[in-house]
Amino acid sequence: MSVLTPSTIDEVLAHLAERPEALLLSGGTDVMVEINMAHRKAPAEVVALRRVEQLRLWRHNPSSEGTGGTVTIGSGLPYAEMEHGPLAELFPALAEAARTVGSPQIRAAGTLGGNLGTCSPAGDGLPVLFALDAIVHLRSIGGQRDVPVADFMVGVKQNVLEPGELVTGVTMPIRHGWQGYSKVGVRNAMVIATASACLAMDRDRGAVTLALGAVGTTIIRCRDAEGWLAGELDLSAEPLDISDAVAQEFGRRAAADARPIDDHRSTAAYRGHAVGVLSSRLLRRAAA
């Protein structure tokens, strides 16, 4: 076994070109559990990313068209940096999701790069990336690919990452309008989602996006509920006026888009019900 600790993206890509099967190690909060519990055969080669400062940065990309522009977040930025401060103000939904991950110790280490690498349907970063139409940036020695997150995640713990590729970061548009993330689990701290949902208003386009976690093989975007709501109401208005009937119907449509299963954490019936309740509550919060 060998462990490499490069300090630039170019060095990482050079290592990966020589050893395409090497295991990337970011915060280690998924990888080390598997190694400690011997669920994962010890990797022959590890490329550790903790020294790569470039991956821990984020930047605002202003736009020429008078919209809010976009933000690019490095794959190695720990969740702790998303919970408060300027990034939390730009993406309140990401801040809310980050705050629900594990515990402070997990959030000090865990990253979006790792959440995307693992690609669990219960990953808390992923519904936010789906609701905000994030672009995932992939690099290898051969070049760069930019993949919409909905095309990046293709199944339970499955993504389109090729050997030799590194997720360098994600880019998301800054939107006008309320956004938030909700999650249910068996308790408040240190819990993997039983069901989760991210809702983001887009006042400039008069639209809403809703993404569901832990109720399908991938994160699910609720196109039906989104389109229905935009047809019912003027979503560029502020404040929004959401009646109980509209909130309920929105939740019902969201639940109908879910494809939950029974497993050791919960039942399909509970998950479907919960995700509908979360969706209509999020909509009520958007109008409050």
Ligand X SMILES: Cc1cc2nc3c(=O)[nH]c(=O)nc-3n(C[C@H](O)[C@H](O)[C@H](O)COP(=O)(O)OP(=O)(O)OC[C@H]3O[C@@H](n4cnc5c(N)ncnc54)[C@H](O)[C@@H]3O)c2cc1C
For ligand X, the binding residues (CB under 6 A) are: 23-31, 33, 49, 75, 100-102, 106, 109-111, 113-115, 117-118, 123-124, 161, 166-167, 190, 192
Interface characters, 70-109, with another protein (x: CB under 8 A): --------x-x---------------------xxxxx-xx
- Binding another protein by CB under 8 A: which of 189, 231, 241, 264? 189
Interaction partner, residue 48 (ligand X, another protein, none; CB < 5-8 Å by kind): another protein
Rounded to the nearest whole angstrom, what is the least distance from the CB of residue 115 to another protein in the complex?
15
Residues 20-39 that bind another protein (CB under 8 A): 25, 27-29, 31-33, 35-37
- Rounded to 10 deg, the angle between the 244-257 and 223-232 helix axes is 160
Q: Is 186 in the site for another protein (CB under 8 A)?
A: no
Closest Cα to residue 203, out of 238, 171, 173? 238
Cα 145 from Cα 281, distance rounded (Å): 37
DSSP state, residue 68 = -
E-strand stretches of the chain:
2-4, 23-25, 45-48, 58-61, 70-74, 135-140, 143-148, 153-155, 158-159, 166-173, 179-184, 195-202, 207-213, 220-221
E-strand stretches of 177-279:
179-184, 195-202, 207-213, 220-221
What is the CA angle 92-209-231, rounded to 5? 135
265's tokens: 């954490």
Rounded to the nearest whole angstrom, what is the least distance from the CB of residue 140 to ligand X in the complex?
11
Nearer to ligand X (CB atom), residue 186 or residue 256: 186
Interaction partner, residue 63 (ligand X, another protein, none; CB < 5-8 Å by kind): none
- Residues interacting with another protein, by CB under 8 A? 1-6, 11, 14-15, 18, 25, 27-29, 31-33, 35-37, 42-43, 45-46, 48, 50-51, 78, 80, 102-106, 108-109, 189-190
